[in-house]
Every structure is written in C-alpha cells, then in structure tokens.
Structure 1
Amino acid sequence: MSLQNLLLSYGLRKRLKRGAPPEHIDVAGTRRAMAQFGQNARVPAGWRIERSEDPALPGEWTRRENGNATADAPTIFYLHGGGYYFCTPQTHRPLTLALARKAGMPAFSLDYRLAPEHPFPAALDDAVDAYAALLALGISPGHIVIAGDSAGGGLALATLLALQARHMALPAGALLFSPWTDLAATGETLRSNDRHDVMFHGDSISRVARLYLGDTVATEPLASPLYAAPEALAALPPLYVQASDKEVLLDDSRRLVERAKAAGGDAELHIWRGVPHVWQLYHPFLPEARRALADAAAFATRVTSG
C-alpha cells in the first residue's frame, strides 16, 4: 500500500465519514461540493476535451488532437458514477483522460439526467440513446467498450441488458470500476466493511437508491443488474471488474461476477487491497490508480482488437 493511498484514505475519511450516517441525503449540498472536481484536470499533450454538439450525445469527448469522430475506431463509452444524483463528465475527467490516453482511443463521457429530478429509467434511456448515436456515427459495436464506475458501472450493465432486450448488437466488452449492481442493498459487505470503507456508511446505500428508484422495485434488473436472469448474464460481452477489498460495495462486484461465471459468461474480478471506492478517479496522485487504469486499458485494447 502506497504512502499516497494512506494519505488519501485518511483525508477521505476525515471529510466524508465523520459521525453517524445521515438520515437524509443532501442532494444540493453534495452537488455543490463536487462542482469544481475535475475542472483543472491536466489534459495530456496531444489530447483535447471537447463538448459534444450532437443533441443525441450530451456530454464530452476526450480525443487525440487529430482524432476523427466518425471513424470506425475503438472507442470508450463512459458512464460516470455519483449515486445517480451527482457528478458529471467534468468530475470524472481525471479518470477518463487517463483511460483514453492509456488505451490510445477516444472516450465519450455521457452527461445523463440525474435523480431525483429524473428517476429511473431516465439515466438508462439516455445511455441507450447515446449508444445508438455512437453507432449512427459509424462506430461498430465491436469497437466500443462500455465503461463506468459505481452507479455508472451499474448503469453500464443495465444498458447492456436493455440493448439485449431490444435485440441490438452489444459492445465488445465492459469495464466496471466498483459497480453498484444491487440497489436492494443486500450485500454482506455493507455491514462487514462498514468500518473499513473510508467514504461510505453501509446504511446509507439504500437511502441513496431510493432517489433513483422512485417507485421502482429495487430488484428490477434494469436498475439492479445483479438480479438479471442467468441467460441474460451469460449473453453479456466480456466483463472486467475492479473493486476494493475495503469498500462496502465489494459484494456488488463479487456476486455479479460469480453469477455471470456460473451462467457461463466471461467475467473477471480483480480485488485491490486497501484502496478507497473508485480509487481510479485519483489517477494523478495515486500509483494504485495508475496501475489499475493501465490494466483496464489493456482489457479495452484486447477486446476491440479482434
């Protein structure tokens, strides 16, 4: 475990996990607190960030300076985390910039609608529409890797299930960073890792889930992909999952991969020791983040090279 991780984890715990878990989720306050995160992310030489002008693709592109948006080249389709109620493509630039550069491919980060103003299935509808818009640009499904962290990881899986239901061609693979797959909040690590997780109280997860779910049953597979039918999990493209052994959402990753593999699917889980939830977001500072994103980029390159 690096010194940087020890310092980061200490700072996160002091800032995010003081006292008992809150009884109410402060949506506006959380959004304000995160509003500037990622704004000053360093753009690597030879790359650029540009806002999408396509109304079917709200969000932003990370591309090489000479990149071509319409070329059928391998592309990362990224869905940011934030409990479905906060964060934006901007907040996740440290991750998406690094992932695009390490994979050597453009990344599109979707600015999907947020709860509670836009509950389920708004984010899912936006993700499915955006995937269709990427195909309309001329990018083939076999050249797309769908990716996401936390709620965005769950949304990526839900998008795959929705594409299945619509009989649309699936992307080449899925990169999932600590995905939130169980909005019913039944994982054992919500309790067993509660004191180890430096960011979240396990008891808060179900309260956050209600912001997105509204009146939807928490075990609806398009909201909680953990509950997808075995035949649906078996038909998913290769899944590459990274999670921390200390996070309360560990079982959301572990059970997903176990169920996908039991159904005959292609899924792999890599558990990292001692790092915080979605540690990849701290790429500029954290050596564990640099290594994790290098591994993720290698997966993206592998599945799109066929």
Structure 2
Amino acid sequence: MTNAGSLAPEMRAVLERLAVEDGLQPDPTILPPAEGRAVTEASNRRWNLDGPKMARELIVETPDGRRAYVFIPGRDDGTRAILYIHGGGWSFCSAATHEGAARRLAQETGVPVVTFDYRLAPEHPYPAGLEDCISFWAGRDAILPERKWSISGDSAGANLAVAMMLRLDGCDPPQSGLLFYGVYDADFDSPSYVSVADGPGLTRDKMRRYWDYYTGAQTDRLSDPCLVPLRASVDALANLPPLYLNAAEIDPLRSDSQRFAEKLSAMGRQDLFEIVPGVIHGFMQMSMWLPQASEAYRRAGQAFRAMT
C-alpha cells in the first residue's frame, strides 16, 4: 500500500474538534439525497463564520433565471472577475456552503468572485450541472460587464470547471483556472484511492456513490472527457488557459491531480501544481481554524496574479 503521509498536527486538531462538536455524523451518501444535503449544509455552513468583509456584496439574477452571489473586495480595479463552482460530489453543498470560500478567494486574488447554485444529482444527473455552468458563463457579462473572467472550483466544482472549458473548446475561454483538489478521473485503483481508501473525510466508497449519483452506475465514464478530463485528447487540453492546481496529500483524489498535472506538463505547458502536505480533502473550507487552508488561498491568489 502506498504511504499516504500523516496528518499535520493542525489538521488533526481540526478533526478532533469536529468530532467533539458534531459527534458521530451519518454518511450523507447513504442517506436519501434531501437528507444527505441537509447534513452537508449544516456541517459546511460553519466555515462561513468570520469570513473576510467585502467592499460590496450583491445578489443578482442571471439571464437564465438563477441567483448569483457576488463578492467584491476593496482592491477591485474593475477589470477582472472569477466564477467559482462549488464542490460536493455533484450532489451536495451549495453557494451558501461555500460563501466563505468565495470570500477568501476574492480577498486573496483582489477581484470579485461570483458563485451560484447549479442543478444537483441524482435528481439532475450529468450533464445538467455542466449545462448550468455553461449557461452561466454565456451570461456572465450581465452580472459584471466588461471584465476578463477566470474560473475556479473545488473537488466536483473543479471537474465542472475543466469540463466547461473543454466544451468551450478554445472559444470564449476563461483567462485562467484555479482548481482545488479536483476530480479528473474515475480510476478507483489509483495510488491515492488505494492508500486513502478509508479517509479520514472523503473515502473511495463515497466517491463511488458520488459517481453513481452523477452518471448512473452503468455509464461508460472513461469515454467522455467532460466526465474524466484526464482522458481528454492532447489537442483539447492544449486549448485550456493557464491553470493552477493543488491537491491534498491525504485525499483519495490526490492521484487525479498528480496525473492531470503530469499530463499537462508532458505537453510542454507551464501550469502550476502543488500538493499540500498533511491535510485531507476539502481542507480549504476550514481556513478559520486551519492555517494550511489560509496559506492555500494565499498561494492561489499569488498564482492568479502570475497568470493574469
């Protein structure tokens, strides 16, 4: 078995604190979807506390009739913006659970971050959520006009971000991409899926259930690059904008990011990739308690400025 590394002391302290505060929590992926969402909403909204104050905050309606949440930092110069797509296995979480993430990304990049709710599986399986992201992208100038836009996302949100860029196929592309511990393949025998099969946090079995929610158990996932961007053609990947990718060391998805970064590098691209040691999947949600999360946002901001 591959060595997955050990928990950083700060990460261990956060997990111990959560165990005390929450007690034994049910696995949301084995509950009915509505109940699973209630569990994840309750557990994730805590991370919005003490979020950075913005110069302006807006709730606007998109051209396709969705609500978008806009977080504008004081340093905004009126030229750029970021679309942030939340994670949650394509099935859970929301713009509300990731408000703190959007605020922190806005603070560290110095540009407005816009997030919204897309349709969730299993009620709305692939490609519904992706279509919502593409629709949002097409109407983004109605929210903040005359801007150069980048895209960001965590976990399943990073998957949707790359899938959207692949569907755009070099037409109307984002200026850059900030991708955090994303889902880029469906290989449950990768080194990290084996070494971190049982967590802590995300597990291999949870990811299997997320995939089944999103695509159904019988779908040929590996043939569609909008499901598994790692398997996209070199020509398709060449059209992607500059990317920053990170991965959590103790995460079943770590190998997804490593392999994706290696493929991009082998093409001669100059994308940035980092593994954050000693932390688990979703760690950037925990920035009010976890210094590694705050540092990850700082690094993302630094990368964003270098790419744009």
Question: Do Structure 1 and Structure 2 share a fold, with TM-score over 0.5?
Answer: yes
Q: 1:229 aligns with which of 211, 233, 240?
A: 233
CA contact (8 A) 2:62 2:140 kept: no
Q: Check the 8 A contact 1:174/1:239 in 2, yes or no.
A: yes
Superposed CA deviations along residues 212-247 of structure 1, whole A, max 9, x for unmatched, are 113642111111111111111122111111111111
Does 2:183 align with 1:177? no
- Which residue does the alignment assign to 1:121? 127
The question of whether the paired residues in 2 share the 8 Å contact of 1:194 and 1:202 is answered with yes
Shift in Å, 1:174: 0.8
Where in structure 2 are the equivalents of 1:76-95 lying within 5 Å?
76-95=82-101
Shifted more, 25-34 versus 40-49: the winner is 40-49
Corresponding residue of 2:284: 280
| In 2: Cα distance, 1:13 partner to 1:199 partner | 12
The Cα offsets for residues 9-45 of structure 1, whole Å up to 9 and x where unpaired, read as: 33567869989x8994542222111234337533433
Q: How does 1:18-167 map to 2 (within 5 A)?
A: 24=30, 26-36=32-42, 37-38=44-45, 40-56=48-64, 57-64=66-73, 71=78, 73-135=79-141, 137-140=144-147, 143-164=148-169, 167=170
Match of 2:278, SS state, is: coil
Alignment match, 1:270: 274
For 1:22-76, what per-residue CA distance to the aligned partner results, in whole angstroms no more than 9, with x for missing partners? 99454222211123433753343343433222243533111247979xx5x2111
Q: Which has the larger displacement, 210-219 or 173-182? A: 210-219
User: What CA deviation, in whole Å up to 9, does each residue of 1:114-168 have, x standing for no partner?
Assistant: 011111111111111111111455344xx2221000000111110110111xx52
Q: TM-score, normalised by structure 1?
A: 0.86
**What is the aligned partner in structure 1 of residue 251 from structure 2?**
247
Identity of aligned residues (%): 31
Instruction: Say which SS state the counterpart of residue 152 (structure 2) adopts.
Output: strand
Q: Distance in 2 between matches of 1:184 and 1:2?
A: 27
Given that 2:184 and 2:260 are in contact with CA atoms closer than 8 Å, whether structure 1 keeps it comes out as yes
CA RMSD in angstroms, aligned pairs only: 2.7
2:210 equivalent in structure 1 = 208
After superposition, the Cα gap between the structure-2 partners of 1:2 and 1:217, relative to the gap in structure 1 and judged at 3 Å, is closer
Moved over 6 A (4+): 13-19, 65-68
| C-alpha deviation, 1:281, in angstroms | 0.9
Preserved CA contact (<8 Å) 1:77 1:145: yes
Could you tell me which runs of 5 or more consecutive residues in structure 2 were left unpaired when the two chains were aligned. 1-6
**1:79/1:156 contact within 8 Å kept:** yes
User: How high is the TM-score relative to the length of structure 2?
Assistant: 0.86
**5+ residue gaps in structure 1?**
none
1:38 is paired with a residue whose SS is: helix
- 1:191 match: 194
